[in-house]
Amino acid sequence: MTTTARALADQVLEARQSAWAKSDYATAIVQTEQLTPEDAKVVRRVVADAGYQGEEMEQMVKQVSDLVVGTVEALADDMPATGGD
Is the pLDDT assigned to residue 5 strictly greater than 70?
yes
User: Residue 68's CB: how many other CB atoms inside 10 A?
Assistant: 26
pTM of the model: 0.82
The reported pLDDT for the residue numbered 77 is 72
HSE, side-chain direction, 13 A CA sphere, residue 25: 20
Report the alpha-carbon distance of residue 68 to residue 54 in Å, rounded. Answer: 21
Q: Which residue, 36, 35, 47, is CA-closest to 10?
A: 47
pLDDT in tens, 30-78: 788 889 899 999 999 999 999 999 999 999 999 999 999 999 888 877 6
Mean pLDDT, residues 15-35 taken together? 80
The reported pLDDT for the residue numbered 83 is 58
Residues in Cβ contact with 12 at an 8 Å cutoff, skipping those fewer than 6 apart: 39, 42, 43, 46, 64, 68
